[in-house]
């Protein structure tokens, strides 16, 4: 989403790098490029004018002229203004004090209201609510059946007393659905209403009648983000004819421009509350203006990535993996499969990678990434016996040929997968060793082979050679060497004692025993105490 806008803005900011100070001409050129980028992204003209005026005023102000890095300050200004036109802060659903909370969906036909109803119900169910879907779209063919299938996939109940296809009164169904939810203990009701191919009086009147009959707590206007400038006109028509309290943007995954998201908040005055980013029921998220602005400017969206990881990873499996790590057990292919499944549960790998900062610069490589590679890896692992998964070193040539035949891949593909797994297994071993001898793979850390540079290696080699120097055959000289070695050892012990008795701020401790913490009260996994040096 917003790929075209992101590319233009990133290229504009790149031209500002290296400038010690921005002249008025530089600001004008930058604002002109931002205006072109917004217009090409189908942002409404009044919004573009408001945005560029605010950027120019702030860019010519003292905050840039006094800044250490003016180019970065311009990026900050654009980010702040994007957050402002996107709504400023996250708007969440307002729940009724007395259940059920009634949420009415409105919008044109084809905007994705029925699918969105299932996504919203799934989202509410994950938040420990008990939602009920009510089929009020009795006009579109098979709309009721579609909602029933969507509700079954989402794991929520559907109230559909009428078959639809032109039969039944939508207002009566909506009123009866709310009463049914109240009597059966549902705390949220989602009304899926009918739409039209365009704005007409009949659709507006029906939506207004449903609103009057049910008195909804939230009216969400479902807007197709791909219709460009028409999105603003449609939103204004619904605002004047029915009224709504929030906007839901759909099909953001298929829109390369996304100007509707930047326009609808400023034009209608109502916030964007949710965003639909795919066809699956889990491709649904809260709309965070600050995070969306970061995505547009290619600054990443790490917070959303963390939230997805928290939902996808099982806490029990993570605990078992930690205990296995503490017990010095090897990382097996079974563990690898569990981690792979957890990553896949987070959603599209391309979307996750796209949330990392700077990924817009490698979009072509990202688009070329084949997510079916995970299917092939899973097929290879599942073609192995349980013993082979636990002990991959047993997989010889004949076993590899059998695995390749079982998963439909070549032997070289199996070899490549096992080689990559061996590297991951080696990294896990180094991490376990790193608990006592420094961090693996980080230059300059103790216990790391090949770290520290040539001069440091030369000094270490010289010290080792000096320590290995043979003892003299002369008894007097040998006695002198032994006294010198004993003096060096005493000095080393004294330095170690002094360092141990010093806090992190360089202040001496009152009691040396305070330096060793008491870990007896911690609930550590079995075997983990050996990494703590016997404390």
Binding residues, by number, are 107-114, 192-196, 250-253
The 3-state DSSP class for residue 96 equals coil
Cα pseudo-dihedral 336, 339, 341, 347, rounded to 10: -140
Annotate 309-345 with DSSP letters as a single string. HHHHS-HHHHHHHHHHHHTTPPP-HHHHHHHHHHHHH
Longest dimension (CA), the chain: 114
Q: Residue 284 corresponds to which tokens in the numbers above?
A: 């649904």
| Pairing between β-strand 131-135 and β-strand 157-159 as defined by DSSP bridges | parallel
Residue whose tokens read 């007097």: 476
The 3-state DSSP class for residue 369 equals coil
Q: Residue 375 corresponds to which tokens in the numbers above?
A: 């299917």
| Burial letters 496-511, b for 16+ CB under 10 A, else e | eeeeeeeeeeeeeeee
Classify residue 218 as left (phi > 0), alpha (psi -120 to 50) or beta: beta
Residue whose tokens read 């963390």: 306
In the DSSP assignment, the letter for residue 508 is: B
* Length in residues, the chain: 535
Tell me how many degrees the CA angle 57-61-66 measures, rounded to the nearest 5.
150
12: CB partners within 8 A, 6+ apart: 30, 33, 34, 37
Short-list 61, 85, 89, 64, CA closest to 76: 64
Q: Please state whether the peptide bond connecting residue 100 to the residue before it is cis, i.e. omega within 30 degrees of 0.
A: yes
The 3-state DSSP class for residue 449 equals coil
Element (H, E) at 191: strand 188-192
Instruction: Tell me how far apart the alpha carbons of residues 295 and 531 are, in angstroms, rounded to a whole number.
Output: 41
123: CB partners within 8 A, 6+ apart: 274, 284
Instruction: Tell me how far apart the alpha carbons of residues 188 and 186 are, in angstroms, rounded to a whole number.
Output: 6
Q: Tell me the binding residues for GTP.
A: 107-114, 192-196, 250-253
The 3-state DSSP class for residue 301 equals coil
Would you call 103 exposed, middle or buried from its count of C-beta atoms within 10 A (0-12, 13-18, 19+)?
buried
Contacts for 52-59: CB closer than 8 Å, 24+ residues apart: 54/81, 54/84, 55/31, 55/81, 56/27, 56/28, 56/31, 59/22, 59/27, 59/30, 59/31
């Amino acid at each position: 989403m917003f790929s075209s806008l992101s590319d233009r803005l990133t290229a504009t900011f790149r031209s500002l790098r290296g400038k010690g100070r921005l002249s008025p001409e530089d600001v004008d050129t930058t604002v002109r490029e931002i205006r072109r980028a917004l217009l090409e992204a189908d942002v409404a003209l009044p919004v573009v004018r408001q945005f560029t005026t605010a950027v120019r005023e702030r860019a010519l102000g003292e905050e840039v002229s006094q800044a250490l890095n003016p180019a970065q300050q311009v990026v900050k200004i654009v980010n702040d203004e994007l957050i402002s036109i996107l709504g400023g802060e996250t708007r969440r659903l307002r729940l009724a004090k007395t259940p059920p909370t009634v949420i009415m969906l409105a919008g044109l036909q084809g905007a994705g209201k029925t699918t969105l109803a299932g996504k919203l119900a799934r989202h509410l169910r994950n938040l420990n609510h008990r939602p009920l879907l009510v089929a009020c779209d009795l006009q579109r063919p098979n709309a009721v059946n579609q909602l029933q299938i969507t509700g079954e996939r989402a794991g929520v109940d559907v109230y559909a007393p009428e078959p639809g296809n032109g039969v039944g009164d939508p207002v009566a169904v909506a009123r009866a659905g709310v009463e049914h939810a109240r009597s059966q203990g549902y705390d949220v009701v989602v009304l899926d209403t009918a739409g039209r191919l365009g704005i007409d009086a009949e659709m507006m009147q029906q939506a207004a009648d449903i609103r009057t009959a049910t008195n909804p707590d939230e009216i969400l206007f479902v807007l197709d983000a791909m219709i460009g400038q028409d999105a603003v006109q449609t939103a204004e028509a619904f605002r004047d004819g029915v009224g709504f309290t929030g906007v839901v943007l759909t099909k953001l995954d298929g829109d390369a421009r996304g100007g509707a998201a930047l326009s609808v908040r400023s034009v209608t005055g109502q916030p964007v509350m949710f965003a639909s980013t795919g066809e699956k029921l889990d491709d649904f998220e809260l709309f965070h203006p600050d995070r969306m602005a970061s995505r547009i400017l290619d600054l990443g969206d790490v917070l959303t990535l963390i939230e997805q990881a928290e939902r996808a990873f099982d806490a029990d499996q993570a605990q078992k993996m930690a205990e296995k790590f503490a017990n010095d057990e090897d990382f097996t292919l079974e563990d690898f499969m569990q981690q792979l499944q957890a990553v896949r549960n987070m959603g599209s790998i391309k979307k996750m990678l796209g949330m990392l900062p700077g990924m817009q610069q490698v979009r072509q490589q990202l688009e070329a990434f084949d997510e079916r590679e995970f299917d092939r890896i899973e097929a290879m692992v599942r073609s192995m016996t349980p013993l082979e998964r636990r002990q991959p070193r047993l997989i010889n040539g004949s076993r590899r040929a059998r695995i390749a035949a079982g998963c439909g891949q070549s032997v070289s593909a199996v070899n490549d997968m096992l080689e990559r797994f061996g590297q991951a297994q080696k990294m896990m071993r180094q991490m376990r060793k790193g608990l006592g001898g420094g961090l693996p793979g980080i230059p300059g850390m103790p216990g790391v082979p090949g770290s520290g540079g040539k001069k440091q290696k030369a000094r270490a080699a010289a010290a080792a050679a000096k320590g290995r120097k043979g003892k003299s055959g002369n008894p007097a000289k040998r006695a002198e060497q032994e006294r010198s070695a004993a003096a060096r050892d005493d000095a080393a012990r004294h330095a170690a004692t002094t360092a141990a008795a010093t806090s992190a701020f360089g202040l001496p401790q009152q009691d040396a025993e305070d330096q060793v913490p008491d870990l007896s009260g911690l609930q550590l996994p079995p075997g983990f105490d050996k990494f703590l040096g016997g404390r």
